[in-house]
Structure 1
């Protein structure tokens, strides 16, 4: 019986935590520049302020929790057998383009929350504990293992280079300097350049093709 009770307690905590994060997102959407306090979140979520502190923590931890929720949703999207080729699905491989596109689309699907989360996260001096960079590195390593990229390519360094360009596009989008489509185009362009540079000889034309038919946006 104790394990059952413990499981119920954990589920109850998870449900309250989800309500707290949903309430935070609702408050941000209603007023993007509003000050987010535990008291306001608690009122919206229907819990005590102490519950917010106990299950989430102080304000910096709220942004951390929102970022963790973002990564949860991204990982679920990438786990779904969406557009991956049959051979990739069979091997459990990730397509690098799918990682980049899914990440950008997730940011732009909730722009108010995404922009505020990025700004606050940067201002706090914290970094994402879990990052799309991990998923991209895995996808590039998969591509190298399948012979799409040269065997001598350092896929971690390649992922970091692509990520740097994507983060630059993200901050331009957060600042309102580029729109959703331009954000996606720039992120995908950065990946295409990296793939073309690292392509194994038999696949070079395939990876060069997008660059020949599209500008830098």
Structure 2
């Protein structure tokens, strides 16, 4: 039988952890290229540096925690959306990055430098959405939707890195990600849907 006191302690820890991550984002927004330190984060969060270490871990673990928070937010958005077609997964993911550009860009650069492998990624949701689209008869039944999702995901990552490097703006980031999806869907389309998906692809490509 759960102990009430233990439940309250866990809730308190969760709130402090969320406050620490919020403080980390605030520090990054103020000084995007600075080296973040446990002390600065602790001061902003109103906790002791030891609390940051105990609840999050050393500095490299902060990026993992931010990534986990990113995926939590994405999953909440997709659940709230209900019908999660491939296009909505791509749009929601891009929007999540551009909603907080300073933190997102720094987070991605730190992922690259640390070699961090995300335990969860938007690709999981894209695979499911692609499989659902095949089940609905929009894609041919012989299509490997996992492979198709990986191709789209790879193209989206390329657009993400261009956006992180400020080579493209928010609108172009979204347009390139959706164009990659449109190419994949049109190539894999079942006969009754091919003309519609090709028309979407041509429209997107002309923008």
Question: TM-score normalised by the shorter chain: which range applies?
Answer: over 0.9
RMSD (CA atoms)? 1.3
1:58 is aligned to 58
How far off its partner does 1:207 sit?
Answer: 1.1
Contact 2:175 2:204 in 1 (8 A): no
Q: Give the 5 Å matches for 1:1-217.
A: 3-81=3-81, 84=83, 94-215=84-205
CA apart distance, 1:67? 0.6
Unmatched tracts of structure 2, length 5 or more: none
Could you give the per-residue CA deviations for residues 31-87 of structure 1, whole angstroms, max 9, x where no partner exists?
Answer: 1011111111011001111111111111111001001101001001101136x4xxx
* Structure 1: stretches of 5+ with no match in the other structure: 85-93
Paired residues of 1:38 and 1:52 also in contact (CA < 8 A): yes
State whether residues 189 and 216 of structure 1, in contact with CA within 8 Å, keep that contact through their aligned partners in structure 2.
no
Distance in 1 between residues matched to 2:10 and 2:16, nearest whole Å: 10
Query: TM-score by structure 2 length?
Result: 0.97
**CA offset at residue 3 of structure 1?**
1.6
- Report the TM-score when normalising by structure 1: 0.92
| Paired positions, count | 207
- Relative to 1, partners in 2 of residues 1:74 and 1:134: Cα closer, same or farther, differing over 3 Å? same
Distance 1:101 1:95 in 2: 10
CA spacing shift, 1:150–1:177, aligned 2, 3 Å: same
Q: Deviations over 1:80-117 (max 9, x none)?
A: 136x4xxxxxxxxx200000000001100000000000
Residue 214 of structure 1 aligns to a residue whose secondary structure is helix
| Equivalent residues of 1:186, 1:216 under 8 A apart | no
Return the offset for 1:2: 5.8
